[in-house]
Amino acid sequence: VQLQASGGGLVQAGGSLRLSCVVSGSGFSINSMGWYRQAPGKQRESVAEVTTEGIIKYGGTTNLGASVQGRFFISADYTKKTVYLQMNSLKPEDTAVYFCNIKWRYYGRTYERENWGQGTLVTVSS
């Protein structure tokens, strides 16, 4: 199971970016797909997650949800095993490396595994 993220870059404050992450591999089912970010000197934090049932959560257990909800939108196409993060009205504090994440399990197994993409840098200039 491998993840390939793309779409990061340099954007001015107020601008938009769309991140994509494609999952490759076979013989497994995906439970959820999501995005995390890690700013310099800070811990990695959950930005958004979407389950195969369509349940969406922004910000995980942190206050990040209030900051991104209404500006960031997560979506997934499970037939293509791809997750997207549309980021609008970007702010300098959104600058971070963004990582895609999936939680999955092999067919017929109950143990949930987790994989990460390589990270894509988003830089928002003021």
pLDDT tens digits along 113-126: 999 999 999 999 99
Cα torsion 103, 67, 43, 116 to 10°: value is 20
Does the structure show a pLDDT above 90 at 29?
A: yes
pLDDT at res. 67: 87
Closest CA to 123 of 99, 92, 100: 92
Could you tell me if 6 and 20 are in contact, meaning their C-beta atoms sit under 8 angstroms apart? yes
Q: State the pLDDT at residue 68.
A: 92
Alpha helices by DSSP H, listed for 1-126, are 64-68
113 touches 30 (CB < 8 A) = no
End-to-end Cα distance, the chain = 37
Backbone angles phi, psi at 59, to 5 degrees: 90, 0
Question: What pLDDT does 65 receive?
Answer: 81
Contact 12, 95 (CB under 8 A): no
Tell me the mean pLDDT in the region 29-38.
Answer: 96
